[in-house]
Structure 1
């Protein structure tokens, strides 16, 4: 097995780097002493006994009381079984500790929460606000993964597409109807035009089922809308408004699950798509 593959598997056991290295070498060598293992792995001799003690405590390695002491790895199947048991015990301990403070926690924070909730207005519940960048891209990926029927995208050049492409592909593979409405390239800056052209070529090549059109006018906002309903009972959206004088890293995006609002965004999208867009500006 390649070293990188072995490391990937051992990382799932929640081990430190030294512990992963020691366990991997033990599984290769079999029974050995701590000094020999330190020499084979490069783990400092001052650290090797502590590393091995941790592996013994977790049930992955057996201590052989010989002179000198030797260490032997458990069979791989037993290591996995023990890892599961360790996680179960950790969960049960954490659960018991939380239950111990339940009454005190509820007494302390229950009235505070109810008082704060009473002051929330419907407008405050309409949106959640996230930073543009990693947070907004995380929300967008989740939107694609959770979409059941339809996703609509309003974008200038889809420059963030590489960061959300796996989620985008997942939606397409599940036969979600995906449509992307770009801004006409004539309305873009010289810097954004080649980015948009690259994204369009990639979409047409890799995702031929995705609908693509180009808005003939600038768009006041950009975003992604999933599963809108004219019954106003479903839908999720993330959007941001056009702010020409605000750097992208200082902008905020709004996330909403308000079915009425998402339906309105979807209707706007449909009107532009049907009456104020073209299919091939290049």
Structure 2
């Protein structure tokens, strides 16, 4: 299978031509701006922005808050899970091609000093659960709303606790703490909100080097900012760890 065949297969899965070409180009780049994508994809630069925005809505691309805006594709396995319901026989070949591109260009394990944005509740839930599942030693999950303990999040927290990962759930809401106890996590009651008030819908810390913080917009839509292996992640993890320790001592 060549690149044109892969683009055609992705189109049959529901992507537009421009979306498919931008997604393949980003697999080659690992991360890239609209200009960099346009340089290697048969897509006008003016059309890259719209295609990348549509890919973000599908949960296939993360957007870095920078100037210029930069884009990063999700892992091939994650994309496969999101689109698998629509796969036909040729779809496996398309994803095999994307895997080979990542291997060829050496971007599969790339780390970036960046903060990424995830929009939409289902996409935020997926990212939060993924961070929890990837933890080896410690997870802190904070929320005051039981609605932010979706089944995927609960399963990830419970699986982490069963794997002897230190799991702590922090909340002012006793109902949230009851769920945490049922999952085998350590429930920590927040006696007072940190100052200044962050207004976060959920906070995730994994292994002291990965963090996710989400907020709700005026329309109720959830947006999360997350980072892994960066100075920002380490700093926020340290602050969160100190806050949790202070609550445990009270």
Instruction: Report whether the alignment pairs 1:246 with 2:184.
Output: no
Query: SS in structure 1 opposite 2:190?
Result: strand
Per the normalisation by structure 1, the TM-score is 0.45
**Which of the residues 180, 190, 200 maps onto 1:203?**
180
CA distance in 1, matches of 2:5, 2:141: 48
Q: 1:215 to 1:260 in 2, by over 3 A?
A: farther
CA distance in 1, matches of 2:5, 2:143: 50
Instruction: Report whether the alignment pairs 1:267 with 2:238.
Output: yes
Gaps of 5+ in 2: 7-20, 40-65, 71-112
CA RMSD of aligned residues (A): 3.7
Q: Which has the larger radius of gyration?
A: 1
Query: SS in structure 2 opposite 1:247?
Result: coil
Q: 1:161 to 1:248 in 2, by over 3 A?
A: same
**Which of the residues 119, 123, 127 maps onto 1:131?**
119
Alpha-carbon shift at residue 255 of structure 1 (Å): 2.1
CA distance in 2, matches of 1:253, 1:157: 16
Aligned to 1:217: 193
Q: 1:227 to 1:206 in 2, by over 3 A?
A: closer
CA distance in 2, matches of 1:237, 1:122: 24
Give the conservation status (yes or no) of the 8 Å contact 2:169–2:177.
no
Give the conservation status (yes or no) of the 8 Å contact 1:153–1:180.
yes
CA distance in 1, matches of 2:144, 2:177: 11
Mapping for residues 74-113 of structure 1, pairs under 5 Å: 96-98=1-3
Alpha-carbon shift at residue 274 of structure 1 (Å): 3.0
Gaps of 5+ in 1: 1-95, 184-195, 229-234
**Which of the residues 227, 233, 251 maps onto 2:207?**
227
Q: 1:158 to 1:266 in 2, by over 3 A?
A: farther
User: How many residue pairs were aligned?
Assistant: 156
Q: 1:278 to 1:131 in 2, by over 3 A?
A: same
Aligned to 1:176: 165
Alpha-carbon shift at residue 98 of structure 1 (Å): 4.2
Q: Deviations over 1:73-110 (max 9, x none)?
A: xxxxxxxxxxxxxxxxxxxxxxx344989xxx9xxx68
Aligned to 2:109: none
Alpha-carbon shift at residue 279 of structure 1 (Å): 7.5
